[in-house]
Structure 1
């Protein structure tokens, strides 16, 4: 019963992010969507921030909700203070009432052509979605 409850618990969005970057052997970049209903949003309000893996590899993350998804764009880069950029992107989202991201999410429903499964220890795996299949390890 306890194991069943663990397996049915939604993973945190950050767990999916970390697991996918490791699953792909820390690619130079990636850009994916995850369904909002499949994860717990444990990074609310964060738009541009550093994400450092336990291996020491750092990524700059651009993140936004675009209903019915959460969009992540990840680039392997050295740690940098991204607080001003984070505030800037949040202000832009508020100023435009989030409408561009809503339309992007709705368009993505039709534009997504590829999906991959992210495996999480002790939790149900999650599918993430791509506009096109990425060449893992490609610089661009």
Structure 2
């Protein structure tokens, strides 16, 4: 609710949900076996706040998502895998580590990414304008696991 209030009061533009950007990018890449990217927090509505490790369905294909907020970005690492029973405990473990470390490593990762990002791509969102996502290096689309 606080995130929605923040977006309502302080955002000057309507932005897509982070989950919709993830879904559109995976479709745009034709369901890659893996991908890893950053998105600026200001460019999306963080509808997956509090989720660090979870499963995400894109057109019947299951992806394991490792995700962290690393100001000023949100980092996604996505791997196509078979569906597991439950990632609840792994998600809680990653969240515990972030809290225990006071978020300092994720903050440092985000600040370092500002200087290390070398590539970006445009993701076309149906009902929104396009959104930039960022990479440390350009991904090799022919790569597999």
TM over 0.5: yes
Deviations 1:5-56 (A, max 9, x none): xxx5200000000000000000000000000000000011000000011x21
Task: Please give the TM-score of this superposition, normalised by the length of structure 1.
Answer: 0.92
Matched, 1:40 2:51: no
Match of 2:137 among 129, 132, 136: 132
* 2:107 counterpart of 1:102: yes
Q: What is aligned with 2:29?
A: 24
**Runs of 4+ that moved beyond 4 A:** none
| 3-state SS of 1:11 partner | coil
Superposed counterparts of 1:5-20, under 5 Å: 8-20=13-25
1:84 aligns with 2:89: yes
What RMSD in Å do the two structures reach over aligned CA positions? Answer: 0.8
Higher relative contact order (CA 8 A, sep 6+): 1
Structure 2: runs of 5+ lacking an equivalent:
1-12
TM-score (norm 2): 0.89
